[in-house]
């Protein structure tokens, strides 16, 4: 899931906190110097740019050329390059990468093929860091928290027939992928709990960005549109307001899967 809500300054500060956790882990397991970081599913490059000051070279990889074009349009990072590609076929020699990262993208990877590639390209002591969050967030506004969260739960229930196994992987905090990592040194950290303001309009845009909603919309566009509008109207009614620009609070948690290749 990705949405512009999570591209602003607040989200950048979240990624910065997680980046600090990742760098500390890399320092402990491999040590300096840090030469090459590879950011998988890099999107518009936000995570790649946070890594840039700490590595000689950062390479962002994504399947979407339009996302990469946006990433390349951000100037001031001469040590970052962006390439179109996948996590399952990495264009790097054996034992050449210090850090493999993925921010809210690893649930889309072919698990077995990705782990083979990760083991191949990481240096001895090199690390992988897979950041994610689930859609099990909670909403807060005045005294109607429970009713707002019920509306969200009913929205998700409507989308169950369109929920892919990939989304289930994300919601499990990458449990199966974590178990399959072949390195003995690995851990999962529930690293950042986040509360931030969000307007009803932005929340509905966030819900619309869910892959299961997009699948529903492709299958039944009118019904999907009605579900989204009805959800917005119910939220406004429960909050006792009329403007979709009214803000509530959203609370969600981030996790990070960390692993280090044996030296």
pLDDT tens, residue by residue, 131-165: 877 667 899 999 999 999 999 999 989 998 887 65
Residue 11 has pLDDT above 70, yes or no: no
Domains and CATH numbers, the chain: 4-260 (3.40.50.150)
pLDDT band for 3, please (50, 70, 90 cuts).
very low
3-class DSSP state for residue 257? strand
Determine how many CB atoms are found less than 10 A away from the CB of residue 82. Answer: 22
For the ranges 43-47, 110-114, 139-143, 241-245, the lowest mean pLDDT is seen at: 43-47
pLDDT tens, residue by residue, 203-214: 998 888 787 888
pLDDT score of 5: 43
SS (H, E, C) 112-166: HHHHHHHHHHEEEEEEEEEEEECCCCEEECCCCHHHHHHHHHHHHHHCHHHCCHH
What is the chain's mean pLDDT, rounded? 88
Write the DSSP string, 78-89: TTEEEEE-BTTB
Per-residue pLDDT, averaged over 36-50, amounts to 93
Which residues are CB-contacts of 54 (< 8 A; sequence separation ≥ 6)? 19, 23, 34, 37
Residue 38 has pLDDT above 60, yes or no: yes
Distance CA 14, CA 12 (A): 5
Query: In this structure, are residues 125 and 261 in contact, taking their beta carbons and an 8 Å threshold?
Result: yes
Query: The dihedral of CA 74, 255, 141, 229: what is its sign?
Result: positive
Cis upstream peptide for 59 (omega within 30°): no
């Amino acid at each position: 899931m990705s949405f512009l809500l999570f591209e602003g300054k607040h989200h950048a500060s979240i990624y910065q906190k997680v980046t600090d956790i990742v760098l500390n882990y890399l320092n402990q397991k491999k040590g300096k110097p840090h030469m090459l970081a590879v950011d998988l599913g890099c999107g518009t490059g936000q995570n790649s740019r946070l890594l840039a000051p700490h590595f000689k070279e950062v390479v962002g990889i994504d399947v979407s050329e339009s996302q990469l074009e946006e990433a390349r349009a951000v100037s001031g990072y001469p040590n970052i390059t962006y390439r179109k590609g996948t996590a399952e076929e990495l264009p790097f020699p054996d034992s050449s990468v210090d850090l493999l990262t993925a921010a809210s993208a690893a649930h889309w990877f072919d698990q077995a093929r990705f782990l083979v590639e990760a083991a191949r390209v990481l240096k001895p002591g090199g690390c992988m860091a897979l950041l994610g969050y689930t859609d099990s967030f909670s909403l807060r506004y005045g005294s109607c928290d429970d009713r707002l969260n019920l509306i969200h739960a009913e929205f998700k229930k409507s989308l169950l027939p369109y929920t892919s196994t990939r989304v289930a992987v994300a919601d499990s905090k990458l449990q199966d992928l974590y178990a399959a990592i072949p390195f003995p040194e690995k851990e999962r950290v529930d690293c950042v709990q986040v509360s931030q303001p969000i307007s009803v309009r932005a929340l509905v845009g966030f819900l619309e960005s869910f892959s299961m909603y997009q699948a529903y919309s492709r299958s039944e566009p009118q019904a999907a549109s009605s579900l989204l509008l009805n959800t917005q109207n119910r939220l406004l009614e429960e909050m006792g307001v009329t403007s979709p620009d009214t803000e509530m609070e959203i609370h969600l948690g981030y996790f990070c899967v960390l692993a280090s290749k044996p030296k």
